[in-house]
Structure 1
Amino acid sequence: MFPGGGKFNPRMMKQMQKMMKDFGMDAEDLKAVKVTIELEDTILVFEKPKVQVMDMLGNKTYSITGKAKKVAKAEEKIEDVEVKVEVTEEDIEMVSSQCGVSKEEAKKALEEANGDLAEAILKLGN
């Protein structure tokens, strides 16, 4: 593949780098510790990979070399957690006086707005 009996010498490497640069290509080795690729049903994990990024006229291509481990993808479960906001008496009085409503109405509006004063006032203002 390489001239010179298949041996690769540093001078050839410099010539190749110069040719690549002339064609608008630039290559750089990255010091990656771990690379993870998430697929639909599995995850590929490369420990201590050799990663090279090649920039060709603004388009970057990443090359990863190393041994990959396949890891089963765990299903992520997101639980809805209901948070109860404690409404203070000061907030109730402020909303009540701003909107001219009873304290019970102000408290209900604050609870529906999760304690957000501005939202409660806007709800009662309509």
Structure 2
Amino acid sequence: MFPGGRGGLNPQKMSKMMKQMGIDIDELEDVEEVVIKQKNKELVFNKPKVVKMDAKGQEMYQIVGEPEETGEQIEEEYEPNEEDISLVVEQANSTEEEAKEELKKTDGDIAKAIVNLKD
């Protein structure tokens, strides 16, 4: 991918080349933990190596380490807003309470809520 044979480019040449392309690289010191939260789990990196790259104002972070996966997270229950409730009430000829309950069941899928209430 990069010239320089099997061993690749030496780090100093790579750093110089990146600077010429407008990319600044800084290693963050003393990082104890990085947590990536997903819908149903978390990835926890303990004592990772973290590098921050700034390419013309766009910041990117590279995390190097072995993540630990945590179990299921408790998901927050969806709470429909007034606009969505009104739309479902109008389209499905339902009460606000019925619309709210159906929106919760469909996790905010307005079209599905309307169809379910019309059936």
TM-score computed with the length of structure 1 as normaliser: 0.51
Report the counterpart of residue 6 of structure 1 in structure 2: 6
State the alpha-carbon separation in 2 of the partners of residues 75 and 57 from structure 1.
38
For 2:48 and 2:55, how far apart are their aligned partners in 1?
Answer: 22
How far residue 75 of structure 1 moved from its aligned partner, in angstroms, is: 2.4
Structure 2 Cα separation of the partners of residues 8 and 74 of structure 1: 41
Residue in 2 aligned with 1:30?
A: 28
Judge conservation of contact 2:39–2:73 (CA < 8 Å) in 1: no
CA RMSD for the aligned pairs? 2.4
Query: Equivalents in 1 of 2:50, 2:26: separation in Å?
Result: 9
- Tell me how far apart the structure 1 counterparts of residues 46 and 35 of structure 2 sit (CA, whole Å): 9
* Whole-angstrom distance in 2 between the partners of 1:5 and 1:59: 30
Per-residue deviation, residues 38-75 of structure 1 (Å, max 9, x unmatched): 10010110011111111100101101111111112442
Which of structures 1 and 2 has the bigger CA Rg? 1
> Is 2:13 the counterpart of 1:15?
yes
| Letter in structure 2 aligned against 1:7 | G
Change (3 A) 1:43 1:4: closer
Specify the code of the residue in structure 2 equivalent to 1:67.
E
Deviation at 1:3, TM superposition (A): 4.8
Residue 71 of structure 1 pairs with residue 47 of structure 2: no
Equivalent residue pairs, number:
75
Change (3 A) 1:3 1:59: closer
Structure 2 alignment gaps of length 5 or more: 77-119
TM-score by length of 2: 0.53
